[in-house]
Amino acid sequence: MKSISKIKVRYAETDAMQVVHHANYYIYFEVAREDFIEQFGITYKEMEDQGIMMPLVETQCKYIDAARYGDNLIIETEYDEITPIKVSLKYTVKRENHNKLVATGKTLQTFVDSKTFKIINIKKVHPEIWSKLTKY
């Protein structure tokens, strides 16, 4: 299952070369991650309220073409892999009006207990959340 997120590049996100500063792609990925999770009928806030955190442990972004101020970007997000202790997502960023590839990326997150920050097996500790995250 994929989700689609839309981002309009703001002026403050560009650098001296008038292109999106590389660090902003990780903000775009975060927006897309939240949209992706919500399609399963749960939000990060609801998971946090149940004592689950999902820290990033690895990130990757390949920049293919420059995005600029005013560009409308489409971010497609989908599972790369999900296990009871970690989730890997992949992202495809395209310019909306030309469908031109701008960047690709991946993130890896683990499921941890919010009090101890120890990795948990979400399938065992929160089977109802595991069921939602794997229903498609």
Strands 112-113 vs 72-82: parallel, antiparallel or unpaired:
unpaired
Share of the chain above pLDDT 70, in %: 100
Instruction: Please state the rounded mean pLDDT for residues 74-78.
Output: 98
pLDDT tens readout for residues 97-130: 889 999 999 999 999 999 999 999 999 999 999 9
Instruction: Please state the rounded mean pLDDT for residues 17-40.
Output: 96
Q: For residue 122, what is the enclosing H or E element?
A: helix 122-125
User: What is the reported pLDDT for 135?
Assistant: 87
- Asked whether the predicted pLDDT for residue 136 surpasses 90, the reply is no
Residue ranges and CATH numbers for the domains of the chain are 2-133 (3.10.129.10)
